[in-house]
């Protein structure tokens, strides 16, 4: 499936009132690619992901997802092919729904074993009989990712999957995500995050938004650099890469800090 276009945005923009809050954007991804979208607060990340999730229509331009053009197809059918994890779907899951319950009732044994395998991959197999509303933030995130994958989507959208997790929870999730992403059959994905430390290993491409525009995009090692991050966040930054993950810190000030009497 590699090489096939999974989504394409042409001259896409979103206007709210007198202001263009996103775009115009031109952007495409192909099967097998795993993208991360970064950018300062207010850059347009949520607006972009809402369009990709077919929850928001752009003011101008064309959005094609999985060979279907928004505005010309039945969105309900298209949505079944897109897995979504994050704030966009958090409120769609009823408080009292069992983590595995809906799948037990409506699907056959093969579906159920797939669901159990996914809950196992993301470390929440033991929660299968719990009510969703009783789960912790970290447990909910893992259940959301498992559920997003249960319908075998062709495109996976992850909206800040590690937000709200403690350090152990974040690292565990990233490790599990790597196991999933190493599967050649895993769908193309787009992950939105505020922090480069939350970019999972195996991410192939990055797009940085600034003030609604693409500041830089392309292969991840070319995009996530000290130069680009410093320019976009308007703060001198040192970005390092340890072979699989990225880390960022502000550069030391020129004048060293002195303690009194030293
Ligand atoms: N309905 C709206 N009316 C007016 N402005 C809006 C509307 N929705 C979003 N905006 C503005 O559009 C810009 C982009 O918002 P968006 O939420 O997409 O940014 P973001 O990158 O997700 O930000 P954050 O990192 O803070 O979550 C912001 O300046 C926001 O205030």
Task: Indicate which CATH number applies to the domain containing 12.
Answer: 3.40.50.300
Q: How confident is the model at residue 179 (pLDDT cuts 50, 70, 90)?
A: confident
* Helix, strand, coil percent values for the chain (each to nearest 5): 35, 30, 40
Q: Which ligand 1 atom sits nearest the alpha carbon of residue 194? A: 25
Average the pLDDT over 51-66 and give the result.
95
Q: Which ligand 1 atom sits nearest the alpha carbon of residue 40? A: 25
> Is the CB of residue 1 less than 8 Å from the CB of residue 193?
no
Whose Cα sits closest to atom 17 in ligand 1? Answer: 46
Give the per-residue pLDDT at 204.
94
Whose Cα sits closest to atom 24 in ligand 1? Answer: 41
In a domain, 125, yes or no: no
Sequence-separated (6 or more) residues with CB below 8 Å from residue 28: 5, 7, 8, 9
Per DSSP, helices labelled H in the chain are 45-52, 75-79, 87-90, 101-106, 109-121, 137-150, 167-181, 220-223, 226-233
More confident residue, 104 or 58: 58
Pocket of ligand 1 (CB under 6 A): 16-17, 21, 39, 41-47
Is the pLDDT at 147 greater than 70, yes or no?
Answer: yes
In a domain, 123, yes or no: no
What is the CA(180)–ligand 1 centre distance, in A?
31
Q: To test ligand 1's pocket by mutation, which of 22, 44, 59 has the most ligand atoms within 8 angstroms of CB?
A: 44
What is the CA(41)–ligand 1 centre distance, in A?
8
Give the per-residue pLDDT at 182.
79
What is the CA(171)–ligand 1 centre distance, in A?
29
In a domain, 47, yes or no: yes
In a domain, 126, yes or no: no
More confident residue, 254 or 86: 86
Give the per-residue pLDDT at 103.
53
Task: Give the number of other CB atoms < 10 A from CB of residue 125.
Answer: 16
What is the CA(225)–ligand 1 centre distance, in A?
25
> Is the CB of residue 22 less than 8 Å from the CB of residue 207?
no
Q: Pairing state of beta strands 82-85 and 155-159?
A: parallel
Q: Which ligand 1 atom sits nearest the alpha carbon of residue 21? A: 12
* 169-to-27, 51, 140, 143 alpha-carbon distances in Å: 32, 29, 12, 13
Is the pLDDT at 221 greater than 50, yes or no?
Answer: yes
Whether ipTM > 0.90 holds is yes
Give the per-residue pLDDT at 97.
84
In a domain, 118, yes or no: no
What is the CA(238)–ligand 1 centre distance, in A?
27
**Length of the chain, please?**
262
Tell me if residue 253 falls in helix, strand or coil. coil
Share of the chain above pLDDT 70, in %: 90
Give the per-residue pLDDT at 18.
94
In a domain, 130, yes or no: no
**In the beta sheet, which residues pair with residue 15?**
20
Average the pLDDT over 135-156 and give the result.
88
Number of domains in the chain: 1
Give the per-residue pLDDT at 262.
47
The Cα 259–Cα 249 span in angstroms is 22
Which one, of 255, 210, 233, lies nearest residue 44 by Cα?
210
Give the per-residue pLDDT at 239.
97
Q: How confident is the model at residue 175 (pLDDT cuts 50, 70, 90)?
A: confident
Whose Cα sits closest to atom 7 in ligand 1? Answer: 16
Average pLDDT over the chain, rounded to an integer = 88
Task: Give the number of other CB atoms < 10 A from CB of residue 44.
Answer: 23
In a domain, 240, yes or no: yes
Tell me if residue 206 falls in helix, strand or coil. strand
In a domain, 18, yes or no: yes
Which one, of 236, 190, 152, 201, lies nearest residue 48 by Cα?
190
Whose Cα sits closest to atom 13 in ligand 1? Answer: 42
What is the CA(193)–ligand 1 centre distance, in A?
15
Per DSSP, helices labelled H in 33-74 are 45-52
Is the pLDDT at 131 greater than 80, yes or no?
Answer: yes
Low-confidence winner among 70-79, 167-176, 246-255 (lowest mean pLDDT): 246-255
Is the pLDDT at 246 greater than 90, yes or no?
Answer: yes
> Is the CB of residue 13 less than 8 Å from the CB of residue 23?
yes
The Cα 143–Cα 171 span in angstroms is 16
Domain range spanning residue 76?
Answer: 5-81+153-250
What is the CA(42)–ligand 1 centre distance, in A?
5
What is the CA(19)–ligand 1 centre distance, in A?
11
Whose Cα sits closest to atom 30 in ligand 1? Answer: 42
Whose Cα sits closest to atom 1 in ligand 1? Answer: 16
Average the pLDDT over 77-91 and give the result.
84
Per DSSP, helices labelled H in 23-108 are 45-52, 75-79, 87-90, 101-106
């Amino acid at each position: 499936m590699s090489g096939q276009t999974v989504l394409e945005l042409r001259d896409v923009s979103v206007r709210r009132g007198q202001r263009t809050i996103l775009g115009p954007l031109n952007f495409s991804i192909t099967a097998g690619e795993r993208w991360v979208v970064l950018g300062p607060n207010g850059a347009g990340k949520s607006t972009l992901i809402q369009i990709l999730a077919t929850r928001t229509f752009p003011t101008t331009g064309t959005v094609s997802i999985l060979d279907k053009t928004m505005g010309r197809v039945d969105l309900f059918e298209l949505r079944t092919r897109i897995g979504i994890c994050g704030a966009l779907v958090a409120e769609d899951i009823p408080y009292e729904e069992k983590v595995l319950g809906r799948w037990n009732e409506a699907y056959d044994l093969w579906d159920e074993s797939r669901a159990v395998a996914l809950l196992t991959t993301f470390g929440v197999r033991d929660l299968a009989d719990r009510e969703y509303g009783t789960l912790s933030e970290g447990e909910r995130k893992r259940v959301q990712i498992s559920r997003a994958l249960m319908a075998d989507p062709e495109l996976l959208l992850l909206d800040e999957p590690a937000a709200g997790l403690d350090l152990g929870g974040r690292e565990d999730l990233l490790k599990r995500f790597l196991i999933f992403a190493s599967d050649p059959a895993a769908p193309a994905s787009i992950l939105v995050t505020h922090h480069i430390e939350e970019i999972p290993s195996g991410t192939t491409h990055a797009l940085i938004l600034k003030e609604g525009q693409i500041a830089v995009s392309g292969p991840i090692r070319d995009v996530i650099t000290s130069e680009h991050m410093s320019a976009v966040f308007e703060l001198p930054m040192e970005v390092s890469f340890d072979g699989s993950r990225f880390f960022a810190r502000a550069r030391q000030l020129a004048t060293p800090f002195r303690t009194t009497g030293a």
